[in-house]
Structures are given as structure tokens and as C-alpha cells.
Amino acid sequence: MVLVVLRRVGVFAATVIVASIVTFLMLSILPGNAARIALGVHATEADVAAQATAMGLDRPAIVRYLAWFGHVLVGDFGTSTVSRQPIGPDIADALGITVILVLTSVVLALVFAIPFGILTAVRQRKPDGAILSGISQIGVAVPGFLAGMLLVTVFAVTLRWLPAGGWVDPAEDFGGFLEHLILPAIALGSVQGAVLSRYVRASVLEVMRDDFIRTARAKGLGAGRALFRHGLRNAAVPVMTVLGLQIATLLVGAVVIERVFSIPGLGSLLLDKVALRDLPAVQGIVLVLVVFVLLLNFLVDLAFTVIDPRLRSAA
């Protein structure tokens, strides 16, 4: 068990390093001369050369990568080419907001998807099951940012119960924080929940056909009890896989939702820096986003090991 976890940690670390290399290649090598991008097309050759030296671009790529990644490891994301300010503190502030938003949405999505998915599976052949299933299909097709706008229209514009956007620090005003969190989290979580409920449904339907459910029925358990006692934990295994894969989608969904609700999270920061073509900042933010995805995937993997005894012994 410990060995399995240690191996996973090793693989995770290696994955993070590779992801950082990919990020570096994309944003530091692919665009060409970062000095020219920073100065714009009208800069003279001499200015560009001077800027290149100042940014350390005359060093070999591998040295630049190691320098960058080494600094990132201690929390130093370098300096913005636009504002000349260090990037790290901005990222740290924004990350906290995005983490809160994403985790709340995951919880909401699960709270919605698990009962809903089970219900649509169990009532599969009944009319209400078909209707519920149709609703979840529509939910999958609605983009999160549209759901956000609709929520704003109803709850902020028409009913005026909640604010249409913005963010309040929980340390300052917890009530205000919740008020600002609730709509974006629902917008993000409901759409992901719809997607997830489809997988819960498929997984439960699959499990209901499994041999061990038949064994449970033969023991004298009714269909419902057989499913709850034996089926659901088994159905959870493939759903967890999907959840792991969905996290990346959820995170980019958060990028868009933050824009809808003007939340100063990583997504808004990323989009601002993209608009300014501030590549060193973009590079740092992308790395943080990707590592966040990998980290959550890693945690899902670990959770697997706890649920499924077959993985514990498979060293």
C-alpha cells in the first residue's frame, strides 16, 4: 500500500516536470523572440537585442528553463514584461479564489449528479426516468457561461436577490462572500453535474447487469437493496475516472465563468495577461492551472486505491 502510494507520488512528480517543459516550450520557445514581443513590432533591432540580454534570452534554452522552473519551485514566477511587477503574488491571490470556486462546484456537481444519475438509471424504463434523462441531456448541452448569464438574469436582474458579479474576501465579510460565490458555483457545478449524471447513469446501468448483482438477488435481496448494498460502490469506480478527466474541463469552465461574473481568479488573470500578450505571466498561470489539474487527478487516483482493493495489491 505504502509502496503503491510512493510510486504514484513519483509518477506525479515526473508528470509535473514534463508538463512544465511543455508549458515552457509552448510559451518561451514557440513564439520566437520574446524580447520583440515584449517591445512590440516598432522597436529597433538594438532595443530588441538589449531587451533580450536583459531578459536573459541569450542563454541556451535549457538553462533558461532550469532557471525558470527552479524559481517557480520556490514561488518566484518572474517579472511581468508589461507591468514590470513580480507575477507570483498575483497568481497566489487569484489561485485561492479559483480553488474555492472549483472545489465548491465539484461538491455541488456531485451532490446533484449522484442522486440524479441513480434515479434516471433505476427509472430507465419508466416515463419519468426518460424525462429526467432528457433534462440531463439538455443540461449537458448548455454552456456554463450561458447558465451563468441566465442565473444572473433571474436572480440578480429580475429578483435582485444576489449580486450579478464581483468577489468578496471571506475573511472580510463571510456573508457577502457566500452571496458572491453562490451563482458562479451553481453555474459551473450544474453543467458539470449534468455531464457527470450521464456517467453515473451509464455506470449504474452497467453495474445493474453485473453478475454479482444477480448473486445478491439470489441471496434474497430485493432489486433496490441489491443495487444499494453491492452496486453503488462498484458503479463509483468508473465515475471516479470520469471525474478525474472532467477536472480539466471544470477548470477551463471556471476561466470562462470568472469572466461572466467578473471574479478576480486565475481565469480572469490569464485572460487579462493574454490580452496584453504578457507571455511570462501567461506561462506562469498556465503552469499553475495544469499542475492544479494534475494534482486533482493524482488525488482521484489515490482515492481509487482506497475504494478498490484490486488496486491496492497491484503493485
Partner 1 sequence: MTAPTLRVRDLRVASPFTELLHGISFDIAPGERVGLIGESGSGKSLTATSVMGLLPQTLTATGSVLVSGIDTNLLAAPERRLNKVRGNTMAMVFQEPMTALNPLMRVGAQVAEIMTIHRTEPGRRQARERAIDLLEQVKLPSPAQVALAFPHQLSGGQRQRVLLAMAMANNPQLLLCDEPTTALDVTVQAEVLKLIKNLVIDRGSSLLLITHDIAVIAEVCQRVLVLHQGTIVEDGPVGRVLTAPQHPYTQKLIAASNLAAVDHRGRLHTLALPAPVPSSPVPSSVVPSRVETDAAAPPILPPYRAAHQSLDLGGLPTIFNEVAGVPVISVRGLSRQYRRRGGGLFSPVPIVHGLREVSFDVAEGQRFGIVGESGSGKSTLLRMLCALDQPSSGTVDVLGQPIAGAAERHLRDFRSQVQIVFQDPMGSLDPRMKVRDIVAEPLHHVDRTEALARVEAQLAAVGLDADAMDRHPHQFSGGQRQRISIARALITRPRVLVADEAVSALDVLVRAQVLNLLADLVDEYRLTLVFVSHDLGVIRHLCDTVAVVSGGRIVECGPTGDVYDHPLHPYTRQLVSATPSIHELTGA
Partner 2 sequence: MTAIKPRPGRVVGRGGGATLWAGVVLIGLVVLAAVVSVWWTPFDPEGVFSDSILLPPGSEHLLGTDSFGRDVFSSLLRGAQISLLVGTVAVGIAAVLGVPFGIVAGMSPGRLDTFMMRSNDISLAFPALLLAIIFGAIFGAGTVTAMVALGIGTAPAFALIARSGTRQIMSREYVQAARASGKSGLFIGARHVLPNISGMLIVQASVSFGIAVLAEAALSYLGLGTPPPTPSWGRMLQDAQGYLFIEPLLIVWPGIAIASAVLGFNLLGDGLRDRLDPRMQVKR
Nearest partner of 273 among 293, 291, 292, 288, judged by Cα: 288
Do the beta carbons of residue 150 and residue 194 sit within 8 Å?
no
Among partner 1, partner 2, none, partner that 300 touches (CB below 5 to 8 angstroms by kind): none
Fill in the per-residue mask, 222 to 261: x = in contact with partner 1 (CB under 8 A), - = not in contact: xx-----xx--xx---------------------------
**Among 221, 274, 295, 302, interactor with partner 1 by CB under 8 A:** 221
Give first-to-last CA distance, the chain, whole Å. 8
| 164 CB-near residues (< 8 Å, 6+ apart) | 152, 156, 157, 261
Under rule CB under 8 A, residue 146 binds partner 2: yes
Residues in Cβ contact with 276 at an 8 Å cutoff, skipping those fewer than 6 apart: 82
153 is a contact residue toward partner 2 (CB under 8 A): yes
Residues 12-51 that bind partner 2 (CB under 8 A): 15, 18-19, 22, 26-27, 30-31
Report in angstroms how near the CB of residue 91 gets to partner 2 at its nearest: 15
Q: H helices within the chain, ranges in order?
A: 2-24, 34-39, 45-54, 61-73, 88-122, 127-141, 144-151, 174-208, 211-218, 223-226, 232-260, 266-276, 279-307, 309-313
From the list partner 1, partner 2, none, partner contacted by residue 282 (C-beta under 5 to 8 A by kind): partner 2
Residues 195-254, interacting with partner 2 (CB under 8 A): 199, 202, 238, 241-242, 245-246, 248-249, 251-252
Per-residue x/- mask for partner 1, residues 171 to 210, rule CB under 8 A? ---------------------------------------x
Give the three cell numbers for residue 31: 513564439
List CB contacts of 176: < 8 A, sequence separation 6 or more. Answer: 168
Q: Which amino acid is at 188?
A: L
**Chain residues that interact with partner 2, rule: CB under 8 A:** 15, 18-19, 22, 26-27, 30-31, 137-138, 140-143, 145-146, 149-150, 152-153, 157-158, 164, 199, 202, 238, 241-242, 245-246, 248-249, 251-252, 255-256, 259-260, 270-271, 273-275, 277, 279, 282, 286, 289-290, 293-294, 297
